[in-house]
Amino acid sequence: MDSPRVALVRRLFELAEHDDVETATEELLRHSAEDVVFYPQPAHGRAVHGHDALREFWSSFAEGGRQIRAGAYSIVEEADTVVVTGWVRTIEEGRLADTQSRWVYRFNDEGQIVSAGVEPG
């Protein structure tokens, strides 16, 4: 049986795999601290701070005619962190790009997400 953290992250990836970024974002935000820091894969290492900024990021992404889907190969919990390896598919201007990726979800003591995404190396 999955822990609550793993179950949440698994649910986020189920939504992302079915091209439901808006629902995945709202689910993520419901479980995130107000001062959360996000590292969306299409931001290429740029940090997005807070709930409103993440909504704005994905809104701008979609308005540009871009699409994104993501899926998990593995989800592993390590202390206060859930690590996901998987794939990302982006579509922009008719071009399709598939990449492998690794996401890190860090949680505080209250079980809220305090950072999430593809952390810069």
Q: Which of 73, 45, 56, 46 is nearest to 22 (CA)?
A: 56
Percent of the chain whose predicted confidence (pLDDT) is above 70: 98
d(CA 63, CA 99): 22
The answer on pLDDT for 64 being more than 90 is: no
Token pair listed for 115: 């950072």
Residue position matching structure tokens 């969306």: 40
Nearest residue to 11 via CA among 75, 91, 95: 75
Tell me the per-residue pLDDT of 22-55, one tens digit each, with 9 for 90 and over. 899 999 999 999 999 999 999 988 999 999 999 9
Ordered by where they begin, the domains of the chain are: 4-111 (3.10.450.50)
CA-CA-CA-CA dihedral for 47, 113, 5, 46, to nearest 10: 0
